Amino acid sequence: MTDVLDVAIVGYGPVGQTLAILLGQRGWRVGVFEKQPAAYPLPRAVHFDHEVARILQGAGLGEVLPRLSEPADVYEWRNAAGETLLRIGSSAAGLSGWPEANMFSQPDLERELDARARTLPSVEVHRAAEVVELEPADDGVVLVFTGADGRRARARARYVGGCDGANSFVRRRLGVPVTDLGFFFDWLIVDVLPKEPRVWDPINGQVCDPARPTTVVSGGPGRRRWEFMRLPGEDIAQLNTDATAWRLLQPWALHPGNAVLERHAVYTFHARWVDEWKMDRVLLAGDAAHQMPPFAGQGMCAGIRDAANLAWKLDLVLGGKAADTLLDTYASERIPQVRQVIGFSIELGKVICVSDPEQAAARDAAMIATVRETGPTPPLPTPAIGPGVLREGDARAGHLFLQGRVGRGDHAGRFDDVIGRGFVLVSPAADPKTRLAPDLAAFFESIGGLTAHVGPEAPVRDVDGSYARWFAQHGIEAALQRPDFHIFGAAPSVDGCADLVAGLRTALGS
Ligand SMILES: Cc1cc2nc3c(=O)[nH]c(=O)nc-3n(C[C@H](O)[C@H](O)[C@H](O)COP(=O)(O)OP(=O)(O)OC[C@H]3O[C@@H](n4cnc5c(N)ncnc54)[C@H](O)[C@@H]3O)c2cc1C
Q: Answer yes or no: is pLDDT of 69 > 70.
A: yes
CA of 45 to the centre of ligand 1 (A): 9
Q: From the CB of 14, is ligand 1 less than 6 Å away?
A: yes
Grade residue 358 by pLDDT with cuts at 50, 70 and 90: very high
- The upper half-sphere exposure of residue 181, i.e. CA atoms within 13 Å in the direction of its Cβ, equals 22
Q: Answer yes or no: is pLDDT of 138 > 90.
A: no
Question: Residue 1 has what pLDDT?
Answer: 54
Q: From the CB of 6, is ligand 1 less than 6 Å away?
A: no
Q: From the CB of 31, is ligand 1 less than 6 Å away?
A: no
Q: From the CB of 34, is ligand 1 less than 6 Å away?
A: yes
Q: From the CB of 12, is ligand 1 less than 6 Å away?
A: yes
Q: Answer yes or no: is pLDDT of 3 > 80.
A: no
Atom of ligand 1 nearest to the CA of 170: 41
Q: Which has the minimum average pLDDT: 30-39, 250-259, 337-346, 369-378?
A: 369-378
Average pLDDT over residues 335-354: 92
Q: Answer yes or no: is pLDDT of 357 > 90.
A: yes
Ligand 1 binding pocket mutation candidate from 44, 69, 262, 334 (most atoms within 8 A of CB): 44
Average pLDDT over residues 430-459: 96
pLDDT digits (tens, 9 = 90+) for 235-279: 999 999 999 999 999 999 999 999 999 999 999 989 999 999 999
Is this structure's pTM higher than 0.75?
yes
Average pLDDT over residues 329-334: 98
CA of 329 to the centre of ligand 1 (A): 24
Average pLDDT over residues 399-419: 97
Q: From the CB of 46, is ligand 1 less than 6 Å away?
A: yes
Q: From the CB of 293, is ligand 1 less than 6 Å away?
A: no
Atom of ligand 1 nearest to the CA of 33: 43
Q: Answer yes or no: is pLDDT of 2 > 70.
A: no
Q: How far apart are CA 304 and CA 241, in angstroms?
A: 33
Atom of ligand 1 nearest to the CA of 40: 49
Grade residue 469 by pLDDT with cuts at 50, 70 and 90: very high
Question: What crossing angle do the helices spanning 299-318 and 14-24 adopt, rounded to 10°?
Answer: 30
Q: Whose CA is nearest to atom 41 of ligand 1?
A: 131
Chain mean pLDDT for the chain? 95
CA of 300 to the centre of ligand 1 (A): 7
Q: Answer yes or no: is pLDDT of 325 > 80.
A: yes
The answer to whether the beta carbons of residues 315 and 422 sit under 8 Å apart is no
Question: Residue 406 has what pLDDT?
Answer: 98
Average pLDDT over residues 277-285: 97
Average pLDDT over residues 37-62: 96
Count other C-beta atoms under 10 Å from residue 464's C-beta.
13
pLDDT digits (tens, 9 = 90+) for 104-125: 999 999 999 999 999 999 999 9
Q: Answer yes or no: is pLDDT of 376 > 90.
A: no
Q: From the CB of 204, is ligand 1 less than 6 Å away?
A: no
CA of 288 to the centre of ligand 1 (A): 9
The answer to whether the beta carbons of residues 387 and 332 sit under 8 Å apart is yes
Question: Residue 377 has what pLDDT?
Answer: 82
pLDDT digits (tens, 9 = 90+) for 189-246: 999 999 999 999 999 999 999 999 999 999 999 999 999 999 989 999 999 999 999 9
Q: Whose CA is nearest to atom 2 of ligand 1?
A: 44
Q: Answer yes or no: is pLDDT of 380 > 90.
A: no
Question: Residue 91 has what pLDDT?
Answer: 86
